[in-house]
């Protein structure tokens, strides 16, 4: 066989075609290097515990089995599949496995996003959008269910926007993604909402005049099938109502950091990306009305609640890609691009990712000490202390440790009034109610952060005694009542 025939059998491709995989690998390596930061959220504790409960019982819960304040009250875990995945990762590889699973999901999402963008934009523009998305998403890169659904969200948005760009009919083959989405995370209603812009843009398209009834029939059938797909869960249509329950918490959302509005009192990545985006759009980028409205809606949600910034980060590039492509000259990816054998590049990226995973598995990784009051729980014997009034951030660990908490991160279970009452009580915004709460729930011990105002009050209350304190938590226990004379 001649050298020429050997070369012809190797199918080279432009190095730029490997960018999606390079982006995914780059994000994966970055997250592995920062793996402990993925475990900085207290909700991770109770998510893995719920997953363990599901695996142990072979079913999903329909009532709360964990807290003492809401025990046996109706509750569904609409993120059950993510929780099972995290529990399995914890069983197999400890907390390192949890971090690796989250990092892999995030990396896959960015790889898929880069793949979509590379079909429309030059590499420099793609990298700028990827960096902007990563900067916005950075505060929410945590080992929780929402990151496991990111690849599904990206794949779904890619299918819809690709049909919008090509003026094509609905992507029926993408419907199974909604089944997966509905069981991984309660935000599946967002996926259903993305169907609307595709329908409206099709109806407003001047090139499809006279086809309105056909468009309506196609997309109505597709929307119906999409809703049906989103209801294929152990709870039926229950996960579709999850966002409504969260929003129904009302003013209590202001006590939870991730549900507060964006804070511009100090410069941050979100503000920087927003200002740069406004500057870029001022340079003459024109957005079709429907896509402009989608971006405005995503921006509104991100500004109203910091938790929704991940929607802006992962979905906005899809609706920006086609309009931005008009600002660049059409290019042939094969012209002037360096080439390399596909199998060599692919194997190289896989080898690097595999080596990084092996190294990560050998590193000690654990959740942040600030959300892990392990020393306090053990030293004060809280497992046998009776009802414990805990700080909101400690509820997840207590569930993980097998101790029924007063409150934890399951806001839809506790409700807005209960969350707000607990917050006002321990902050002494309502001192009489704090004292009432101690008696109403027969509290025998408290587990609070050192900065909590109630700690100083408990130090002075005659019926309470500080039994443990460190930089993470302070424990008070109720004093034993003195025996009466002649008793």
Cα angle: 143, vertex 145, 147; to 5 degrees = 65
CB 44 within 8 A of CB 143: yes
Element (H, E) at 312: helix 309-325
For residue 458 the two structure tokens come to 């408990």
**Maximum alpha-carbon separation in the chain:** 109
Write down the H helix ranges in 362-394. Answer: 374-379
Q: So what's the pLDDT on residue 352? A: 67
Going by pLDDT thresholds of 50, 70 and 90, the confidence category of residue 484 is very low
Residue 3 has pLDDT above 50, yes or no: no
Mean pLDDT of the chain: 88
For residue 347 the two structure tokens come to 């194997």
Distances (CA, A) of 405 to 130, 212, 361, 474, 479: 40, 56, 31, 16, 21
pLDDT tens per residue across span 231-262: 999 999 988 887 777 776 777 667 777 777 88
Q: What percent of the chain has pLDDT over 70?
A: 88
Tell me how many helices (H) and strands (E) the chain has: 21, 6
Pairing of β 464-469 and β 474-478: antiparallel
Going by pLDDT thresholds of 50, 70 and 90, the confidence category of residue 482 is very low
Going by pLDDT thresholds of 50, 70 and 90, the confidence category of residue 270 is confident
Distances (CA, A) of 421 to 290, 436, 476: 42, 11, 20
pLDDT tens per residue across span 20-58: 888 998 999 999 988 999 999 999 999 999 999 999 999
Nearest alpha-carbon partner for 431 in 449, 457, 452: 457
Spell out where 329-469 has E strands: 339-341, 388-390, 445-448, 464-469
Q: So what's the pLDDT on residue 344? A: 58
Q: Which residues make Cβ contacts (< 8 Å) with residue 218, sequence separation at least 6?
A: 169, 170
For residue 230 the two structure tokens come to 């989103």
Mean pLDDT, residues 133-138: 94
Going by pLDDT thresholds of 50, 70 and 90, the confidence category of residue 346 is low
Q: So what's the pLDDT on residue 350? A: 64
Residue 156's SS3 state is helix
Domain range annotation of the chain: 14-356, 369-478
Going by pLDDT thresholds of 50, 70 and 90, the confidence category of residue 11 is very low
Highest mean pLDDT among 3-7, 85-89, 305-309 belongs to: 85-89
CB 88 within 8 A of CB 127: no
Residue 434 has pLDDT above 50, yes or no: yes
Residue 343 has pLDDT above 70, yes or no: no
Q: 195-204 and 289-304 helices cross at what angle (nearest 10)?
A: 160
Nearest alpha-carbon partner for 143 in 92, 81, 86, 77: 86
pTM over 0.75: yes
DSSP 8-state secondary structure symbol assigned to residue 370: G
Residue 324 has pLDDT above 90, yes or no: no
Residue 436 has pLDDT above 70, yes or no: yes
Going by pLDDT thresholds of 50, 70 and 90, the confidence category of residue 401 is very high
DSSP 8-state secondary structure symbol assigned to residue 170: -
Q: So what's the pLDDT on residue 480? A: 76
Mean pLDDT, residues 130-141: 93
Mean pLDDT, residues 120-145: 93
Q: So what's the pLDDT on residue 272? A: 87
Q: So what's the pLDDT on residue 349? A: 64
Residue 359 has pLDDT above 80, yes or no: no
Q: What are phi and psi of 370, to 5 degrees?
A: -70, -20
Distances (CA, A) of 170 to 239, 322, 370: 24, 18, 48
Residue 394 has pLDDT above 60, yes or no: yes
CB 69 within 8 A of CB 407: yes
Least confident span in 163-167, 286-290, 377-381: 286-290
Q: So what's the pLDDT on residue 133? A: 95
Mean pLDDT, residues 355-369: 76
Q: So what's the pLDDT on residue 210? A: 76
Distances (CA, A) of 3 to 14, 109, 342, 343, 344: 21, 40, 18, 19, 18
CB 412 within 8 A of CB 406: no
pLDDT tens per residue across span 438-479: 999 999 999 999 999 999 999 999 999 999 999 999 999 998
More confident position, 268 or 434: 434
CB 138 within 8 A of CB 187: no
Distances (CA, A) of 161 to 113, 117, 206, 294, 320: 12, 11, 18, 12, 10
CA distance 438 to 469: 20
More confident position, 487 or 401: 401
Q: So what's the pLDDT on residue 261? A: 82
Q: So what's the pLDDT on residue 307? A: 85
């Amino acid at each position: 066989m001649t050298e020429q025939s050997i070369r012809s059998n190797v199918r080279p491709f432009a190095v730029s075609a490997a960018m999606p995989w390079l982006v995914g690998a780059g994000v994966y390596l970055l997250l592995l290097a920062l793996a402990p930061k993925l475990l900085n959220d207290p909700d991770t504790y109770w998510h893995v515990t719920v997953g363990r409960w599901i695996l142990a019982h072979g079913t999903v819960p329909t009532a709360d089995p964990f807290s003492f304040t809401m025990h046996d009250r109706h509750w569904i875990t609409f993120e059950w599949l993510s929780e099972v995945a995290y529990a399995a990762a914890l069983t197999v590889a400890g907390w390192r496995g949890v971090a690796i699973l989250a990092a892999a999901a995030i990396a896959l999402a960015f790889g898929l996003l880069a793949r979509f963008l590379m079909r429309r934009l030059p590499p420099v523009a793609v990298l700028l959008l990827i960096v902007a998305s990563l900067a916005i998403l950075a505060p929410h890169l945590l080992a929780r269910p929402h990151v496991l659904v990111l690849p599904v969200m990206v794949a779904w948005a890619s299918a819809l926007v690709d049909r919008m760009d090509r003026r094509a009919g609905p992507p029926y083959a993408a419907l199974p993604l909604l089944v997966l989405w509905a069981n991984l995370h309660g935000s599946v209603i967002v996926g259903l909402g993305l169907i609307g812009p595709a329908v409206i843009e099709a109806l407003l398209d001047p090139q499809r005049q006279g086809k309105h009834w056909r468009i309506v029939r196609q997309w109505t059938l597709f929307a119906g099938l999409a809703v049906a797909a989103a209801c294929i869960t152990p709870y039926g249509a229950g996960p579709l109502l999850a966002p409504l329950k969260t929003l129904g918490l009302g003013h209590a959302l202001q006590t939870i950091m991730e549900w507060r509005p964006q804070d511009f009192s100090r410069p941050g990545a979100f503000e920087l990306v927003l200002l740069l985006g406004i500057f870029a759009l001022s340079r003459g980028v024109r957005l079709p009305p429907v896509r402009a409205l989608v971006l405005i809606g995503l921006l509104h949600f991100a500004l109203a609640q910091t938790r929704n910034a991940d929607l802006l980060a992962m979905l906005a590039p899809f609706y920006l890609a086609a309009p931005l492509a008009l600002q660049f000259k059409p290019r042939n990816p094969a012209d002037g691009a360096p080439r390399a054998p596909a199998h060599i590049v692919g194997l190289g990226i896989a080898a690097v990712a595999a080596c990084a995973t092996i190294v990560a598995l050998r590193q000690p990784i654990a959740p942040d000490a600030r959300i892990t009051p392990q020393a306090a729980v053990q030293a004060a014997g809280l497992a046998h202390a009776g009802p414990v009034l805990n700080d909101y951030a400690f509820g997840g660990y207590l569930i993980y440790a097998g101790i029924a908490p007063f409150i934890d991160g399951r806001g839809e279970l506790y409700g807005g009034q209960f969350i707000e009452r607990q917050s006002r009580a321990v902050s002494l915004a309502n001192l009489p109610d704090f004292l009432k709460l101690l008696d109403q729930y027969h509290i025998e011990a408290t587990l609070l952060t050192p900065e909590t105002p109630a700690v100083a009050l408990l130090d002075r209350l005659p019926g309470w005694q500080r039994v443990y304190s460190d930089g993470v938590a302070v424990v008070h226990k109720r004093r034993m009542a003195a025996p009466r004379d002649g008793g």
